[in-house]
Amino acid sequence: LCVNQIVRNASEAQKAKYLPRLISGDAVGALAMSEPNSGSDVVSMRLRAEKNSAGDYVLNGSKMWITNGPIAETLVVYAKTNPDVAPKHGITAFLIEKGMPGFSTAQKLDKLGMRGSDTCELLFENCVVPAANVMGAEGRGVYVLMSGLDYERLVLSAGPLGLMQACLDVAVPYAATRTQFGRPIGDFQLVQGKLADMYADTAATRALVGAVAAQADAGRADRKDCAAAILYAAERATKAALDAIQILGGNGYINEYPTGRLLRDAKLYEIGAGTSEIRRMLIGRDLVQAAMKQ
């Protein structure tokens, strides 16, 4: 996601400086939008960037829930450069480097799920950022941010799809081998029904995500379609994990089996990159606005 923002919005000099290490995997990137008091309402951010006498920017404030924050070498960070104008004109994107004076990471957050992905708070205390590290242009941060959100939602929709397949990979063999009442529980129609729903939801999600991805590859990424992909995939993944737990019964509820982790991991996709509620608002608004223009 960090790389996508740089590819789409950075200058040639910035691309040459940051992309090689990020693309090769020698460096890890991060994207920092959210703050303790601005999650879904991202443009209400309070991280402040003020110009000093040298023409550089001094950042003060914090960012929260930042994936890869503890290990990132290059970070795309959004801050308010002019709080007196409309948010779409008062936010700027910056390229922040690990080790910049005044920039630090706080404690790694102890999350419910996705525990293999480091997440933390970012702190900026009189952090001086060169003017050359502005990405896009001053006041164009909202444009930079929004230009990548559709792709972010689409890319992330592959995660819950993988989790749904993982749920099937656990539940189907278990149903075929776990014996109750003298026969495998997979012989019972209620269990077969759950497996059928999990399979159908996984197939439908794979088709939707694949179709939207094909559109994006052809340069026709549609905002509501990208939102629909992650909305559907995330909620179906949570349901698949719950069904897998139910099929495994008591074993599904203990940590020796992976189903609990799959549920905890799946739930994040209903929250990150815009909550399910925000996605529904976006889709509904776009549909109504399109109808009003006809």
Catalytic residue numbers read 152
- Alpha helices by DSSP H, listed for 95-157, are 141-156
User: What does each C-alpha distance from 285 to 34, 220, 279 come to in angstroms?
Assistant: 23, 19, 10
Tokens of 170: 């656990």
Where are the extended beta strands (E) located within the chain? 29-32, 48-51, 57-67, 74-80, 91-97, 103-108, 119-129, 134-135, 179-180, 183-184
Take residue 279 and report the two structure tokens written for it: 């996605």
Look at residues 213, 107, 75, 242 and name the one whose alpha carbon lies nearest to residue 155. 213
Contact yes or no for 83/90 (Cβ under 8 A): yes
Please, what is the angle between helix 189-217 and helix 141-156, to 10°?
140
Q: Give the chain's length.
A: 294
Coil, strand or helix at 284: helix
Q: Which amino acid is at 94?
A: F
- Residue pair 91/137 in contact (Cβ under 8 Å)? The answer is no
Contact 241, 266 (CB under 8 A): yes
38: nearest Cα among 26, 47, 51, 25: 47
